[in-house]
A and B are shown apart, each in its own frame.
Chain A
Amino acid sequence: MSGFDIAAALVKVLLVFGVTMLTIMLMTLAERRVSAFMQYRLGPNRVGFGGLLQPLADGLKFLLKEDIIPTQANRPIYLLAPVIVMVPALMTMAVIPFGAPLQIGEHLVPLQVADLNIGVLYILALTSVGVYGLVLAGWGSGSKYPLLGGLRASAQLISYELAMGLSIIGVVMLTGGLTFGEIIAYQQETGWNIWKQPLAALIFLIAIFAETNRLPFDLTEAEQELVGGYHTEYSSLKFAMFYLSEYANMITASAFMVSLFFGGWDVPFVDELAMGGWGVALSVLAFVVKVGFFLFLYIWVRWTFPRFRYDQLMRLGWKVLLPLALVNVVLTGFWLVWRAGA
Chain B
Amino acid sequence: MTATDSKSSNFGVVETEEMVLNMGPQHPSTHGVLRLKIRTDGEIVTHIEPHLGYLHRCFEKHCENLSYEQVIPFTDRCDYLASMANNHIYALGVEQMMGLEVPDRVEYIRIIMVELQRIASHLMGVGTFGLDVGGITPFTYCFRDRERVLDLFEYTCGARLLYNYIWIGGLSHDLPENFVQYANEFLDYFEPKIDEYNRILTYNKIFIERTGDVGVLPADVAISYGCTGPVLRGSGVSWDLRKNEPYSIYDRFEFDTVLGTGEMGTLGDCWDRYFVRIQEMRESIKIVRQALAQLPEGDVFEALPKKVRPPEGSIYFRGESPRGELGYFIVSDGKNVPYRVKMRSPAFCNLSVINEIGAGWMISDIVTILGSLDIVLGEIDR
Contacts and interface: CB of A to CB of B under 8 A. Distances in A.
Bound together: yes
B200 interface: yes
Given A306-B135, A309-B209, A40 B363 contact: no
A216 interface: yes
B137 A308 contact: no
A305 interface: yes
Nearest to A215: B134
A309 B140 contact: no
A222 B364 contact: yes
A224 B132 contact: yes
8 tightest Cβ-Cβ pairs between the two chains A and B:
A307-B134, A39-B140, A306-B135, A306-B133, A306-B134, A224-B29, A309-B364, A225-B364
B164 to A, nearest CB: 30
Nearest to A36: B140
A222 B29 CA distance: 11
Given A306-B133, A306-B135, A311 B362 contact: yes
Contacts of A38: 137
Interface string A301-313: 0011111111110
Contacts of B22: 144
B136 interface: yes
A35 B135 CA distance: 12
Contacts of B186: none
Contact of A227 (B27, B130, B131): B27
Interface string B189-233: 000000000001100101101100000000000000000000000
Interface residues on B, range: 20 to 34
A102 interface: no
B85 to A, nearest CB: 27
Interface in B23-79: 27-29, 42-43
B240 interface: no
Q: Which of A41, A144, A219, A305 has the most CB of B within 10 A?
A: A305
B137 A304 contact: yes
A302 to B, nearest CB: 8
Contacts of B204: 305-306
A224 B365 CA distance: 11
Interface string A240-271: 00000000000000000000000000000000
Interface string A10-47: 00000000000000000000000001001111000000
A224 B28 contact: yes
Contacts of B159: none
A152 B133 CA distance: 17
Contacts, number: 80
Nearest to B130: A306
A223 interface: yes
A307 B206 contact: yes
A310 B367 CA distance: 13
A226 B282 CA distance: 35
Interface residues on A, range: 20 to 34
B206 A306 contact: yes
Contacts of A226: 363
Nearest to A304: B137
A38 B141 CA distance: 10
B21 interface: yes
Given A216-B206, A304-B200, A309 B137 contact: no
Interface of A: 35, 38-41, 144-145, 148, 151-152, 215-216, 218-219, 222-227, 303-312
11 contacts: A40-B140, A152-B43, A227-B27, A227-B28, A304-B135, A306-B133, A306-B204, A307-B210, A309-B362, A310-B43, A310-B362
A144 B19 contact: yes
A108 B28 CA distance: 55
A305 B135 contact: yes
B173 interface: no
Nearest to A41: B140
A312 B210 CA distance: 9
Q: Which of B21, B29, B364 has the most CB of A within 10 A?
A: B364
Contact of B134 (A151, A152, A224): A224
Nearest to A147: B19
Contacts of A215: 134
Given A152-B43, A215-B134, 18 more contacts: A35-B137, A39-B137, A144-B19, A145-B21, A148-B363, A216-B206, A223-B28, A224-B132, A224-B134, A225-B367, A306-B206, A307-B135, A307-B206, A307-B210, A308-B210, A309-B364, A310-B43, A312-B209
Contact of A40 (B135, B144, B210): B144
Contacts of B130: 306
Nearest to B29: A224
A39 B127 CA distance: 13
Contacts of B29: 224-225
B226 to A, nearest CB: 28
Contacts of A304: 135, 137, 200
Nearest to A309: B364
Q: Which of A35, A39, A306, A307 has the most CB of B within 10 A?
A: A306
A148 B140 CA distance: 29
Contacts of A218: 134
B15 to A, nearest CB: 17
A222 B365 CA distance: 12
A303 B362 contact: no
A4 B201 CA distance: 57
A309 B144 contact: no
A135 B42 CA distance: 15
A310 B134 contact: no
Contacts of A222: 134, 364
